[in-house]
Amino acid sequence: MRLKLKIRRCDPMKTGACSPFLQAYDVEAEEGMTVLEALISIAETDDPSLSFRRSCRSAICGSCAVTVNGFPKLACNTQIIPEHRKRGQLVLEPLANHRVLKDLIVDMDPFWRKFEKTTPFLIPKEEPEGGWKITGEDQAVIDDSQKCIMCGSCNAACNTLDVDPGFVGPAASAKAWRFVGDVREADGERRLKDLSAEHGVWDCVRCMHCTEYCPKGVDPLKAIEQLRSRAMGAGIVDNHGAKHTLAMAESIKRVGRLDEAAMTFKTLGILRSLGMIPFGLKMEIHGKMPHPIIFPAIEKMEEVKKIYEAVEEKRKKERGGEG
């Protein structure tokens, strides 16, 4: 079966700048053939100038991630016939949110810098007498994050990275959780402080793309949520994200719904909130925000109260019955 593959190409080394263009290739597709096998076949028989990365061919090394029909995927474990059938075409492009070096090869340096910043190694506490005894539960906490093969697919799919290249990103966050969540780690609090700063984990907009497109089931969003929760638990709350979370919890506890005006003041402080007043007025005129002063609680407050009491009770139990 002959299939047409369109590949977004560009060669800044030749032209001085990346002027991408789509090039079409015909491939003799066999059942089970992967995108990577198709690329290798094109490079070997048709066009040796086509550039792409690969190594293990077994979804282990993380080097072959590309955009397949608009979504980040590993070329070596994506089959071309089902992909073509699903979308009626097969378009390969370099990973989004990464600078293109040539054809499907992107600059991974910023990706590695983000890892570097998270201190990607264990800083161990003093070993207890008799050595560490790591339980299955201890291990389960960090299991997912250890599966990362550093392919960059999650960063390519990340909505925050799309607008803020300085954001720590899902891949480095998952790696950070691997150490913060490790019972042997001695420097967790310092890590959490760094990750709670500007461009840190609070900038994630929870679009879930990282978790959806990770080919190894790492769940970077879960790692980010755990990092946020751990940071707040350690009292690291002097940042917009944590303040916003506390304001939201307080608003629901008080009136059973979001009091946007109060939340803005509590999150941004009085001075910065003043600048938001014209925006707030517009929202209110269009019925997008409740009145900032006339703001009754919902009818079923009793039920909300019960939820908060249940959460408090659970927390007490987790802390071993302390108040």
CB of 75 or CB of 218, closer to ligand SF4: 218
Q: Would you call 40 helix, strand, or coil by DSSP?
A: helix
Rank residues 29 and 151 by Cβ distance to ligand SF4 and give the closer one. Answer: 151
CB of 153 to ligand SF4, least distance (A): 4
Count the alpha carbons within 13 Å of 101 in the hemisphere toward its beta carbon: 9
- How many chain residues bind ligand SF4 (CB under 6 A)? 27
64 lines the binding site for ligand SF4 (CB under 6 A): no
74 binds ligand FES (CB under 6 A): yes
Q: What CA–CA distance (Å, rounded) separates 270 from 288?
A: 22
Q: Which does residue 159 touch among ligand SF4, ligand FES, none (CB within 5 to 8 A, set by kind)? A: ligand SF4
152: CB partners within 8 A, 6+ apart: 62, 65, 72, 95, 98, 106, 108, 111, 171
Identify the three-state secondary structure at position 243: helix
54 forms part of the interface with ligand FES (CB under 6 A): yes
Which of ligand FES, ligand SF4, none does residue 55 bind (CB under 5 to 8 Å by kind)? ligand FES
Element (H, E) at 7: strand 2-9
Name the binder of 40 from ligand SF4, ligand FES, none, CB < 5-8 A by kind. Answer: none
Query: Shortest CA distance to 148 belongs to which of 211, 99, 92?
Result: 211
Q: Which residue in 3, 7, 35, 62 binds ligand FES (CB under 6 A)?
A: 62
Q: Which residues pair with 100 in a beta bridge?
A: 106
Residue from 6, 8, 57, 184 in contact with ligand FES (CB under 6 A): 57
Question: Is 56 an interacting residue with respect to ligand FES (CB under 6 A)?
Answer: yes
Closest distance between ligand SF4 and the C-beta of residue 12, in Å?
25
Rounded Cα–Cα distance for residues 40 and 207 (Å): 34
Which spans of this chain sit near ligand FES (rule: CB under 6 A)?
A: 54-57, 59-64, 74, 76
